[in-house]
Amino acid sequence: MPDYVTKEYFDQRLDGVVSTIREDIRDVISHFNKSQAEQNKRLDVMDKRFDGVDKRLDGIDARFDQIDSKLDAIMEMLATRKELHNLVRALKKQGVVLDEAEIFTV
């Protein structure tokens, strides 16, 4: 280092510092972009997995809808059968001869 600081010496040092800072910033940005790309890949994999789960849940939901409609039909059938039994009992009380085995064959 000279005994006194000249403009040229100061400019050279400043250029070196600025160059070092630029390289450091580029390294940080490069590292950030690389880690961001890796994180995006992991998020894409998770997104695909969630899409698969959503599709499976939609299938299960459709099955539950089918089961629900079948249960409704069964409940209606049972109610109708009970009403039919009540009708047969009422008719028998009034003296109408009915063969329950013929009416309620399975």
pLDDT of residue 81: 82
For residue 67, how far is the Cα from the chain centroid? 22
Residue 87 within a domain: no
pLDDT of residue 64: 93
How many domains does the structure of the chain reveal?
A: 1
6: left (phi over 0), alpha (psi -120 to 50) or beta: beta
Residue 11 within a domain: yes
| pTM for the model | 0.43
Task: Give residues with Cβ within 8 angstroms of 91, minimum separation 6.
Answer: 98
Residue 92 within a domain: no
DSSP-derived letter for residue 26 is H
Residue 51 within a domain: yes
pLDDT in tens, 45-87: 999 999 999 999 999 999 999 999 999 998 888 888 888 888 8
Residue 94 within a domain: no
Residue 82 within a domain: no
Residue 32 within a domain: yes
Domain membership of residue 29 as a residue range: 7-76
88 in Cβ contact with 94 (< 8 Å): no
